[in-house]
Homo-oligomer: A and B are copies of this chain.
Amino acid sequence: MKQLEIFKALSNKTRLEILLWLKDPATSFPEQVHAGFEVGVCVGEIQKKAGLTQSTVSEYLSILQRAGLVSSTRVGQWTYYKRNEETFIELSKIIESDI
Residues of A bordering B, CB below 8 Å: 3-4, 7-8, 10-13, 16, 19-20, 88-89, 91-93, 95-96, 99
How far is B92's CA from A91's CA once the two chains are assembled, in angstroms?
8
How far is B92's CA from A7's CA once the two chains are assembled, in angstroms?
13
How far is B99's CA from A10's CA once the two chains are assembled, in angstroms?
10
A88-B95, A95-B92 known; A4-B13 Cβ under 8 A: yes
Return the chain B residue nearest A8 by Cβ.
B11
Cβ-defined partner of A91 (8 Å) among B3, B4, B19, B95: B95
How far is B3's CA from A8's CA once the two chains are assembled, in angstroms?
12
- A19-B99 in contact (CB<8A): yes
Note all chain B residues with C-beta closer than 8 A to A11.
4, 7-8, 11
Q: How far is the CB of A61 from chain B (nearest CB, A)?
A: 16
The 8 A-B pairs of least Cβ separation, nearest first, read A7-B10, A92-B95, A7-B11, A92-B96, A8-B11, A11-B11, A92-B92, A7-B7
